[in-house]
Structure 1
Amino acid sequence: MIDLSWMAWTWPTAIFFIAIFALIALMGVWEYAVPGGGPRVGILRFETTRGDRLFVSLLGSAFICLGWLWATDLSLWYALIVCAAFFALVFRTV
């Protein structure tokens, strides 16, 4: 078992960062398998790549979670559903 007490981390925090690192690693594998990724122009009217869309979706998800904590006392699991929808929307339209 990994002891995270030296950094005062909790398991949910560790899982959160592991998920982000896994997303970045998966993007690297995807880029290696299919180089280029076909940059495209979406609703923001400038060219984006898969990495750009991942960055926008992660940044937007952070703001969604912060806004969720500010606006409601409901569980963050509901915010995760909103973030997943935002993620899909960004990858489809941006």
Structure 2
Amino acid sequence: MDWMAWTLPTAIFFGVIAALLITFTVLAIKFPETPRVGILRIETTRGDRLFITLLGSAFLNLAWLGIVGANQPYALILCLIYAAAVFRWV
């Protein structure tokens, strides 16, 4: 795997994404859900909300990096708050 220049943070990032996808797949099989309508007024499932969370978190991190430039752990806290809001109200 040297050709990919993996670093520990990169490996952890992709490992967490893989674990989330596996977890959500198992949840969908064991506990099927019906789509619900949230604040966006569109029907979303758990997988849709996960995608919205990941996409929004990417933009939040890029904005944080562009505006603040450092202290990315604080951006992670912001992303966790954003994720909780998406899964609660979207």
TM exceeding 0.5? yes
- Segments of 5+ residues of structure 2 without an aligned counterpart are none
Whole-Å separation in 2 of the counterparts to 1:5 and 1:80 = 28
User: Does 2:10 correspond to 1:13?
Assistant: yes
Whole-Å separation in 1 of the counterparts to 2:69 and 2:55 = 22
Aligned residues: 90
Which deviations, in whole Å up to 9, do the C-alpha atoms of 1:61-85 show, x marking residues without a partner?
0000111110003311111000001
- The alignment's TM-score, normalised by the length of structure 2, stands at 0.94
Q: Aligned partner of 1:58: which letter?
A: L
Q: Aligned partner of 2:78: which letter?
A: V
Q: Counterpart in 1 of 2:43?
A: 47
- Segments of 5+ residues of structure 1 without an aligned counterpart are none
Given candidates 24, 27, 39, the residue that maps to 2:24 is 27
Percent of aligned positions that are identical: 57
Q: Counterpart in 1 of 2:82?
A: 86
- Structure 1's consecutive aligned runs of 4 or more residues displaced over 6 angstroms after TM superposition are none
RMSD of aligned Cα (Å): 1.0
Q: Aligned partner of 2:22: which letter?
A: A
Q: Aligned partner of 2:14: which letter?
A: F
